[in-house]
Amino acid sequence: MNLAAVLFFAVPALAFHCPLVAKSSNYQSQYSINVSIGTPPQYFDLIVDTGSSDLWVQGTDCTKCYNGPKFNSSESATYVPGCGRGSCEETLAYGSGVSTARVGQDHIAFNSVPLVGPVQFGVVYSEDASIENVLQNSGILGLGFSAMAFFTHPSPTEYIASFALYLDGPKSVMSVNEVLDDYKSPAVKWSTIPVEELDGMYSYWTVGLPEATFGSTQLCGNTESRCQAVLDSGTGFIAIPPQLWGRVLQELHLAGCVLLSKGGPFECASADTLPTFKMTLGTLQGYEVVIVPSMYSFPVTGASTVLVGLIESPLNLWILGSLFLEYYYTQFDIAQKQVRMVSLVPTATAAELVPVPIAEKDQPSYFDRVYDATFVEHVMVLLIVAFSAYTIYTLVFRSNLLRPKHELVYVSDDALLAKLLSEPPARR
């Protein structure tokens, strides 16, 4: 068990709320949290990103970075330079660009509430132009599973059991190890959806997407491979996998929409002619979500048209970004590897998503459900230990190396008994 896990179970888990700051650019919203790093603390606004697992912050030697607070490692008494995976420098590629960082370790706090142990993070000294134009904060707080982190070991998610994101403009909140009071009532029915593994490990916050339609077009739930979706607060729009992108294009062209760039988004005459998304989320038990046009389109400033927040995914996975999460209050349960969701759609009360059955053909295979890379690693370690123990036992106890001389002759009770019976009793 690693240090972070020991500390987490040794120290009572704190429960607290952190206000989030919403910033919009090109109709996409980013949500940031106040994080302090070092001793004495240096304060930064970091993007809350459930689609990555590394924490990094701009350093004072990054001259081309965003014009905001920058971390000065020389002013922190607790900062320790560190190397991960054989290198003290790491390059991270995001959908919006690339950052290069030097790795170090220090104490951090969310909204002045300290975590119980140190966190490894990156201090960025170089950013390319594309990420400079998009990033409006001093860095990124990755809240994906730690297995996906390049260098953030230990990571913040190793010190908390869960967090919940309520994304609603100036009222946005991240709750750590609890949910908002309004959603603790037994009358609020949460929908629990297991997180699914990718390639045998927990990395993204991935949920099953066995059924999906866009207007009259079926996108998931046919004879093709099963769909999965990533819940990603760091992406503004909804992203559709490349293999399904052409079908979405056809539907939007029929609605009179114009593609603004190769991978989206779109500009359309009106939201009234746009199709409705219907999705089923889940693994064995499904929950239906309905995304009407007003939920994924935005009025264009100074025009009578609307912008449609649908883009092509860089992965063979759906990405349900902040545009989606703004309508579903979501708790990300790290310890139980599940998400819990409540609908925030204005036309509905805060209630459980509509349960729907999932056809057996749209469920993951038995192998996919039971296969776990960590479990396999543990089994392999046990097999190696058992084999080593057996080898030692064979060499030491089943060889003649440690036996007394008389045992070299009498190696069984039968032989010893035969010798005793053949000898006359000794005289007294």
Question: Is residue 425 reached through a cis peptide bond, with omega within 30 degrees of 0 on the bond before it?
Answer: no
Residue 10 CB coordination number (10 Å): 9
Distances from the Cα of 139 to the Cα of 28, 213, 299, 304, angstroms: 17, 36, 30, 36
- How close are the terminal C-alpha atoms of the chain, in Å? 66
Question: What is the C-alpha separation between 416 and 53, in angstroms, rounded?
Answer: 68
- Sign (positive or negative) of CA dihedral 40, 42, 47, 51: negative
State yes or no: is 49 an active-site residue. yes
Closest CA to 246 of 219, 223, 279, 228: 219
What is the distance of C-alpha 166 from the center of its chain? 17
DSSP per residue, 319-374: EE-HHHHTTEEEEEETTTTEEEEEE--TTS-S-PPEEEE--GGGSPPHHHHH--HH
Which of 45, 49, 54, 333 is flagged as catalytic?
49
Fill in the amino acid letter for 4.
Answer: A
Question: Residue 116: which of 204, 8, 232 has the closest Cα?
Answer: 8
- Which ranges of 53-118 would DSSP assign to H, the alpha helix? none
Amino acid at 161: A
Residue type for 339, please? V
The closest alpha carbon to 235, from 34, 19, 51, 22, belongs to 51
Residue tagged active-site, from 45, 54, 106, 232: 232
Strands lying side by side in the sheet with 258-259: 258-259, 266-268, 306-308, 297-299
Structure tokens at 395: 């060499």
- In angstroms, the Cα distances linking 316 to 116, 198, 225, 371 are 37, 11, 11, 20
> Quick one: the chain helix, strand, coil %, rounded to 5?
25, 35, 40
Using an 8 Å Cβ cutoff, are 285 and 358 in contact? yes
Distance CA 317, CA 85 (A): 28
Task: Name the residues annotated as catalytic.
Answer: 49, 232
